[in-house]
Structure 1
Amino acid sequence: MTPRPVSIRPARESDLPALVALANHYIEQTNALFTTELQTVEGRRSWFEGYGTGRYRLLVAEDETGLLGCTYSSRYRPTPAFDTTVETSIYLQPHCHGAGLGARLYAALFDILRMEEVHLAVAGVAQPNPASNALHRKCGFEEVGTFREYARKRGVWISSTWFQKLIVTTTA
């Protein structure tokens, strides 16, 4: 069987329903998203509008079957001292794990971020999640520490391991 071609591109507003469905999967089935309330397209619209140009990007991977995953870079903290630090996130459809798509999505995001004034990317991974830990290490992140039992969802304490990756800017 020949693999289907996968396209990685900036998200469009028409992707919002599929992005919401993907987020809702992670809200319902995992601890990867700490929110407990399911999302709606209208409720996620302002989140979506925060991406586009500059440091804050939202990319999707798709094939002819639809959206396969997404990655994005968000503001880390709302003070100017952190302007060149972004927090990255990545989510894949369950059937896409382990096929290299996460690494391809992150590579596309980092290619863009190298053209922006970004110094550091950070990512928090809810534990346990050996696949996501491995993906972040494969993509050049280094582990910097774990917050133990710092969130609670569905009555369960969640720990989160944080990773960082220096972004080498290619602009002059």
Structure 2
Amino acid sequence: MVPSWAEVQVRSGTEDDLTALTEIYNHYVRETPITFDTATFTPEERRPWLCSYPEDGPHRLKVAQDVRSGRVLGYATSSPFRAKAAYSTSVEVTVYCAAEAAGRGVGTLLYEALFKTLEGEDVHRAYAGIAQPNAASERLHERFGFRHVGTYGEVGRKFGRYWDVAWYEKEL
């Protein structure tokens, strides 16, 4: 579903995206419990994160960009689920949209591209942790075949309160 207000291209992330991706993420750090980071980042501090996503393999970074304006609208990633070798066929996925792009189909476009990219990889399961409450994220993940497998109660503290994280799983 392409938002009516933009022509969107989804592509692999590049060094040129670093500032825009950092700005998108920092919005969620400052304004929401969606991420449990509590301090914002500079682009230089986020550079190792960006560089951890190669052009191939199971760990990817997909970026949605408005073709007309060039503005980055969001991103999706597949990252290592855990560091131990036996977890190598599992990934943790996430999607972040620019505030003005949220709820307009950008997350759907990003996940479509990310999961298509993962089709040829040696990946068996995808996991997503969703800070609660977040009905929109739950709906997005359920549309892509994720199912709820459990909730960690009060696992993170941010903004002076505790937050639960619901875990979702998808077979790939």
Check whether TM > 0.5. yes
Q: 2:47 aligns with which of 25, 45, 55?
A: 45
Q: 4+ residue stretches of structure 1 with deviation over 2 A? A: none
Q: With structure 2 as the length reference, what TM-score do the two structures score?
A: 0.93
Aligned counterpart in structure 1 of residue 109 of structure 2, from 80, 104, 111? 104
The Cα of 1:4 is off from its aligned counterpart by 2.5
Q: For structure 2, which runs of at least 5 residues remain unmatched after alignment?
A: none
Which runs of structure 2 are paired with 1:125-164 in the superposition (5 Å)? Answer: 125-164=130-169
**Number of paired residues?**
166
Residues 1:119 and 2:124 aligned together: yes
Separation of aligned partners in 1, 2:40 and 2:89: 31
1:48-87 matched pairs, under 5 angstroms: 48-52=50-54, 53-63=56-66, 64-65=68-69, 66-87=71-92
In structure 2, the residue matched to 1:170 is none
CA distance in 1 between partners of 2:32 and 2:152 (Å): 18
Change (3 A) 1:3 1:35: closer
* Alpha-carbon separation, structure 1, partners of 2:7 and 2:114: 19
Deviation at 1:98, TM superposition (A): 2.1
* Per-residue deviation, 1:94: 1.8
CA distance in 1, matches of 2:5, 2:44: 34
For the residue of structure 2 that corresponds to 1:74, the secondary structure is: strand
Which stretches in structure 1 are left out of the alignment for 5+ residues? 168-172
Question: 1:93: how far off?
Answer: 1.2
Output one character per residue of 1:144-166: Cα deviation in whole Å (capped at 9) or x when no partner.
11111011012110100110111
CA distance in 2, matches of 1:129, 1:56: 25
Task: Report the Cα distance in structure 2 between the residues aligned to 1:100 and 1:41, rounded to whole angstroms.
Answer: 26
- What's the CA shift string for 1:35-73, capped at 9, x where partnerless? 111111111111111001201000000103301000000
Deviation at 1:104, TM superposition (A): 1.4
Which residue identity does 2:41 align to in structure 1?
Q
**One of 35, 48, 73 as aligned partner of 1:33:** 35
Structure 1 vs Structure 2 CA RMSD: 1.0
Identical aligned pairs, as a percentage? 42
| Aligned-partner SS, 1:20 | helix
Instruction: Determine the C-alpha separation between the residues in 2 that align with 1:144 and 1:135.
Output: 16
* Distance in 2 separating the partners of 1:12 and 1:105: 15
2:26 matches 1:13: no
